[in-house]
Amino acid sequence: MGSRDDDGQNAEGQGYAADINSIREAQARIAPYVHKTPILSSTSINAIAGKQLFFKCECFQKAGAFKIRGASNSIFALDDIQAAKGVVTHSSGNHAAAVALAAKLRGIPAYIVIPENAPACKVENVNRYGGQVIWSDVTMESRESTAKKVQEETGAILIHPFNDKYTISGQGTVCLELLEQVPEIDTIIVPISGGGLISGVALAAKAINPSIRVLAAEPKGADDSAQSKAAGRIIKLPATNTIADGLRAFLGDLTWPVVRDLVDDVIVVDDNAIVDAMKMCYETLKVAVEPSGAIGLAAALSDEFKESSVWHESSKIGIIVSGGNVDLRVLWESLCK
């Protein structure tokens, strides 16, 4: 098990944090710890979309989201001396559960900093996988300083949810799998938040076939990536407002260059479209998705996409259904609206 180096550059020095080699390495490293998730398709959804859609169902992944890919790649890349002191993260959502599970599989402690207002189901997920919950105040400063304190006291290594080459490489394995399962795919739609998932997907897809289009799906109430692409620099919003609780982070300095150069476009959808797509996933695909996981379908069905040149040029579209961890009360309330 080789140790991590943290220079943030790839071997060829292209300036991107990861590349096809680090993604292939990740695939070999994490194979024992993750599921190869199935692809679903539906003739009735294809009829509505006017295209063939292939749903890569990471909602069936261990811990219910793609996040175990990046977390297990990061954690199993540590050497034994680094790993012995454990790992820490200050992200409370799917990444937290994934870090707790990957650390459990490695047999090391996981310290998960959670803000005191976090929903009970998120805390339960961390507890379920044996993570040690450390409470912080709700502000990002408090979360970061609490995680730093844990690092200083324990020597634990910080596992970043997206701005890290091992995380990005791990997330990219979902694209390797998708293209092994459906090699004819010409367009991939990926939910975007901090950009770890789409960076891994874009780096893998473009290395395998540069003509594959990679599109981001982003909620209107947290459309910092669309704004960043338009402005040519990272834009951080003063506040976010969306039902897609996994999509409220902003791009980092390692994910931004990939999003800037390799993501062909960002499709922005509102929360109503996300809820409609969720309903379609439950009723037609029969899969339990969370709002952040349904946004790719919402984007595929949006007028913005259907009016774009990419829609006309696409025929087989991969959609990353990124997660299925939904608070049942939130689900019930949104589906009943």
Binding site for ligand PLP (CB under 6 A): 65, 93-95, 161-162, 191-198, 246-247, 249, 290, 292-293, 322-323
Could you give the dihedral angle defined by the CA atoms of residues 241, 245, 248 and 249, in that order, rounded to the nearest 10 degrees?
160
Q: Which is nearer to ligand PLP, 150 or 266 (CB)?
A: 266
Could you give the dihedral angle defined by the CA atoms of residues 288, 88, 194 and 121, in that order, rounded to the nearest 10 degrees?
30
Q: Which is nearer to ligand PLP, 22 or 82 (CB)?
A: 22
Judge whether 106 and 83 are in contact, CB under 8 Å.
Answer: yes
Of 92, 199, 314, 322, which residue is the catalytic one? 92
Q: Which is nearer to ligand PLP, 83 or 251 (CB)?
A: 251
Among 33, 53, 32, 35, which Cα is nearest to 43's?
53
Here the tokens at position 28 are 């070999």
Minimum distance from CB of 250 to ligand PLP (Å)? 9
Here the tokens at position 50 are 């006017």
Judge whether 163 and 255 are in contact, CB under 8 Å.
Answer: yes
Q: What backbone torsions phi and psi does residue 317 show, to the nearest 5 degrees?
A: -115, 125
Q: Which is nearer to ligand PLP, 88 or 99 (CB)?
A: 99
> What is the residue whose two structure tokens read 């949104």?
334
Among 77, 57, 54, which Cα is nearest to 6's?
77
Q: Which is nearer to ligand PLP, 29 or 56 (CB)?
A: 56
Minimum distance from CB of 28 to ligand PLP (Å)? 21
Minimum distance from CB of 148 to ligand PLP (Å)? 21
Minimum distance from CB of 295 to ligand PLP (Å)? 8
Q: Which is nearer to ligand PLP, 249 or 297 (CB)?
A: 249
Strands of the chain (E only): list them.
39-40, 52-57, 87-89, 110-115, 132-136, 157-158, 187-191, 213-219, 265-269, 316-321
Minimum distance from CB of 139 to ligand PLP (Å)? 19
CA distances from 29 to 37, 56, 97 (A): 17, 21, 19
Minimum distance from CB of 246 to ligand PLP (Å)? 3
Q: Which is nearer to ligand PLP, 83 or 289 (CB)?
A: 289
Minimum distance from CB of 312 to ligand PLP (Å)? 27
Q: Per DSSP, what are the bridge partners of residue 3?
A: none
Q: Is 67 among the catalytic positions?
A: yes
Measured distance CA(277)–CA(284) in Å, rounded: 10
Task: Indicate the burial class of 220 (C-beta count within 10 angstroms; 0-12, 13-18, 19 or more).
Answer: middle
Of 67, 122, 165, 206, which residue is the catalytic one? 67
DSSP class per residue in 262-312: H--EEEEE-HHHHHHHHHHIIIII-----HHHHHHHHHHTSHHHHTSHHHH
Residues assigned a catalytic role: 67, 92
